[in-house]
Amino acid sequence: MSIRAEKPQHSLLAALKSPPASKARTWVSLLAIPLLLIVRAGLYRQLGSAINWTAQLNLQVVVLPFHSQFGPRMLLYSVLSFGWFLAKFYIWLIVISVLNRNDLEPGALLKYVRLQLGAIEKRSMALKFALPLAAILVAWAVLSPLLQKMAIVPSSSLLRLAEQGILIGLAGYLSATYLLAVLLFLHLLNTYVYLGEWSIWRLASLTSRQFVKPLSGLRMGRFDLAALVGLVLIVAIAQLADWALPEVYQRLAR
């Protein structure tokens, strides 16, 4: 009887102790990010000044220069480069989430994607796609006066800032074409060569099939050409957009 009584007490204590520990780890992680960005800015400042290096933030449509001799600029570069990476990361998650929205038995990777999106995962497809664009547009509008003051970008009207922000947001979505190209290639590879039961192969196959669904009629005997045609199209679209978006941005900046 004593042994049975001790187990529930132990389980109850473990359950009560776990949430505070988890919250503590979350707060430590959140506090570590600003610290790492500050440390990284300091390293950029010291090493960059020694070699006369100018950091460049490539937003696909425009490249923003940050000279390493100025500490505040290096801090701004450190923060903005992390923010740009984070924006593209969540765009990738949203693309995967939308394409696999009907998967009722998700694998480990898709579960991770849905977990990372949190409350966004339950929103409509249109809202999911609109959120990153809106966030990038607002961020560009807020940061542009500071970038103009530092002579990193030329001064522009509010209308031009809005147009530029939309283009930068579209460039963020352009990065997802490379993700889709990789997934399509992995799907093609796994179709003809068995590479095991890893979660990455399942995610690549499911995502690719959903993406090329409009091309499902492209089948010749045993060979399904939909994924191959989809891969060619996505690479062509990426190359075209990679050329066109900077051209449009440069015209807006005049």
171 found inside a domain: yes
What residues in the chain have per-residue pLDDT under 70? 1-30, 196, 219-224, 253-254
25 found inside a domain: no
d(CA 247, CA 237): 15
**Backbone torsion region of residue 220, taken as left when φ is above 0, otherwise alpha when ψ lies between -120 and 50, otherwise beta:** beta
Query: What is the residue range of 118's domain?
Result: 53-253
CB 133 within 8 A of CB 169: yes
Of 104, 108, 96, nearest to 197 by C-alpha is: 108
229 found inside a domain: yes
Output the six-digit token pair for 162.
């809005």
203 burial class (0-12, 13-18, 19+ CB within 10 angstroms)? Answer: buried
Tell me, what's the pLDDT at 74? 87
d(CA 238, CA 128): 21
Tell me, what's the pLDDT at 209? 86
Of 176, 152, 163, nearest to 242 by C-alpha is: 176
34 found inside a domain: no
Q: What residues form DSSP beta bridges with 56? A: 65
133 found inside a domain: yes
d(CA 98, CA 129): 9
Tell me, what's the pLDDT at 20? 52
pTM to 2 decimals?
A: 0.80
Burial of 158-193, coded b for 16+ CB within 10 Å and e otherwise, reads: eeebebbbbbbbbbbbbbbbebbbebbbbbbebbee
Tell me, what's the pLDDT at 87? 94
Tell me, what's the pLDDT at 95? 93
CB 164 within 8 A of CB 156: yes
Tell me, what's the pLDDT at 25? 63
Tell me, what's the pLDDT at 41? 82
228 found inside a domain: yes
22 found inside a domain: no
**End-to-end Cα separation, the chain, in angstroms:** 83
Output the six-digit token pair for 98.
């939308």
Domains held by the chain: number:
1
46 found inside a domain: no
